[in-house]
Structure 1
Amino acid sequence: MISVLFAVLTAFSNGTASVLQRRAALNVPDSEAMRLSLFGHLMRQKVWLAGIGLVIVAALCQAVALATGPIAVVQPIFVIELPATLVVAGFVMRVGVPRQVWYGVAAVTLGLALGMAAAAPVGGSEDVQGAAWIPALVATGIFEAALIATALGTSGDLRAALLGLAAACGYALTAALMKDAMSRLDADGVAGLLTAWQLYATAVAGVGALFLLQNALQAGSLVAVQPMLTLGDALISITYGVTLFGEELRSGWWLLPQVAGAALIAVGCVVLARSPLAAVNAAPPRVE
């Protein structure tokens, strides 16, 4: 129960952070895309710094959630980040939240509840056994490189979506590394945590994911980024949970309600993507 509570807090913190970071990214010229100087432009904006503050809060909440529950339970809850983002955007942008958005919120929430109840992730270890990280990191690196290379050959919302998925993969990896690092804290105390390579890899993966997210938000609309970011994070995290931590999901006829839940989430995301509120967050033309 504690893990679920902190996962929900993480989702709302990240959703609010995305809105604030999106507002800041609108003021960055396209010429700064995929450059470290992008952070220089962003750091001069108070709204972006506020967003980063919420990212830190979200990271702390996520650490508690992962330390107290399976990754296949914690990360999928972040699906609610998408509706949370749009609802928060309505208040921040001072635009009324239409009924269509609430329908989308209901679909995503019900889909998540149905899918999680049917999947019922159980078991698994608190840490990654043996050298299992090696093939996982290699596969992740190849996947990320392919997404980034493809994104660089595109523009607009397509680039934003691809970079959003790359960021999602980075955040899922960050979560898996964080959970593995937190297991060292439980086993060996603070000294074990500080000497674990997973702790420092978590920081590297997190900064890389943040860099990709800023470029995704700068490249296109929020509605192009957020579905890929939210759904991608959940699905890739489940994959890490099953392959790295040995967590198990129900199979057999339980797959039917799992698919139904995923379908509800997909429908909810489409409804939210087509809402007038999502259009408010589209990027205006920028001056080079």
Structure 2
Amino acid sequence: MDLLVPVLFALGAALSNALATVLQRKAALSVPRSDSLRAGLMLDLLRRPVWLAGMATVIAAAVCQAVALATGPMTVVQPLFVLELPLALVIATVLLHGRLSPSGWGAVGAVVTGLAVALFAASPEGNRTHAPMDRWIPVLAVCAAVLAGLVLAALRRPEGRGRAACFGLATAVAYAATAALMKTSMHTLDDEGVTAFLGTWQTYGFALFGACALFLLSNAMQAGPLVASQPAITLGDAGVSLALGITLCAEHLRGGWWVPLQLLGAAVIAAGVLALSRLPLARALTGEGRRAAPAEAP
């Protein structure tokens, strides 16, 4: 299977999302803090070219993700999105005049290396374009039940790491479900045209789950520290997407002695993401600790 096109578009989506994060944060920092309480904040941001550029890159990311999912397996495309946080931090060192310490660069390298090892060891194959309803119904039922359970668990906890982690995992499930539904609807668009795309239930399904993911993401960011929510989102999205790719799209990974190598790669990714989410620069990008400078002490 030729994976060049989906890999390039997935990397383009990750890069666009990372750039959007930095541009929108740059625009937000240009608004005086007192303005954040005014109803006209959004109007102020809309007048800033940097904010508009950030919105344009969000759209570009969505298009790139759609093309990647339409041309490649979920088990390849979605794990590549773990690169968003490292890419955002690298871009922020330039646009926000931040600085990564040697340990920060080491964490970036760990995520990239771990991802390369995990994907090489897994060597995903298979790419069913349309899943039958007898697969969709139990998968979506489980996703909805898990989402409800995680949200209830989050609401029962006070603000802090536990609440943020629960909302983060819920966001990851919603992201993965969105990707699975988007994949099918994009194949419908490619095979049957716009009318069929607008008539298939998966199109409205991914719009619903996508909106749910954005809502849960905002709650995860507000519920507690980034070190709790970001690993849950990043690693949860990749893990659930792997499960959905195998379950819905008949994709499979290499087994046998390759499994320990896959787990090693995943562990390295997890360690890198956890280290990155602790950095002051990462917290500045998400608005955590508004008074903190975007530079990192060595």
Give TM-score, length-normalised by structure 2: 0.83
Q: Which residue of 1 aligns with 2:152?
A: 149
Taking only the aligned residue pairs, the percentage that are identical comes to: 50
1:195 aligns with 2:199: yes
Q: Which amino acid aligns with 1:82?
A: L
Please say if residues 100 and 272 of structure 1, whose CA atoms lie closer than 8 Å, have aligned partners that are also in contact. Answer: no
The separation in 2 between residues aligned to 1:216 and 1:20, in whole angstroms, is 21
Residues 89-238 of structure 1: pairs in structure 2 closer than 5 A: 89-152=92-155, 153-238=157-242
CA distance in 1, matches of 2:275, 2:12: 24
Contact 1:42–1:48 (CA under 8 A) maintained in structure 2:
no
Q: Choose between structure 1 and 2 for higher RCO, CA contacts under 8 A separated by at least 6 residues.
A: 1
**1:62 corresponding residue in structure 2:** 65
Report deviation, 1:92.
4.2
Task: Using structure 1 for the length normalisation, give the TM-score.
Answer: 0.85
How does 1:246-265 map onto structure 2 within 5 Å? 246-265=250-269
Q: Which has the larger displacement, 124-133 or 246-255?
A: 124-133
Task: Give structure 2 stretches of 5+ with no counterpart.
Answer: 32-36, 292-298
Deviation, structure 1 residue 20: 5.3
Deviations 1:34-91 (A, max 9, x none): xxxx9x7874444766544332221110001011100111001111112122223334
Which residue identity is paired with 2:135?
A
In structure 2, C-alpha distance between the alignment counterparts of 1:280 and 1:229, rounded to whole Å: 18
The separation in 2 between residues aligned to 1:198 and 1:102, in whole angstroms, is 40
Amino acid at match of 1:167: T
- The structure-2 alpha-carbon separation of the partners of 1:93 and 1:285, relative to structure 1 and needing over 3 Å to count, comes to closer
Give the Cα separation in 2 of the matches to 1:111 and 1:16: 22
Say which SS state the counterpart of residue 257 (structure 2) adopts. helix
Query: How far, CA to CA, are the matches of 1:221 and 1:16 in structure 2?
Result: 22
1:243 aligned residue (247, 253, 268): 247
**Once structures 1 and 2 are overlaid, which stretch shifts more, 125-134 or 137-146?**
125-134
Alignment coverage as a number of residue pairs: 275
CA contact (8 A) 2:10 2:68 kept: yes
Aligned to 1:180, what secondary structure does the other structure show?
A: helix
Q: Unmatched 5+ residue regions in structure 1? A: 28-37
| Farther off after superposition, 170-179 or 40-49 | 40-49
The alpha carbon displacement at 1:120 in A equals 0.7
CA shift for structure 1 position 271? 2.6
Classify 1:225/1:55 alpha carbon distance in 2 versus 1 (closer, same or farther; 3 Å).
farther
> Which position in structure 2 is the counterpart of 1:283?
288
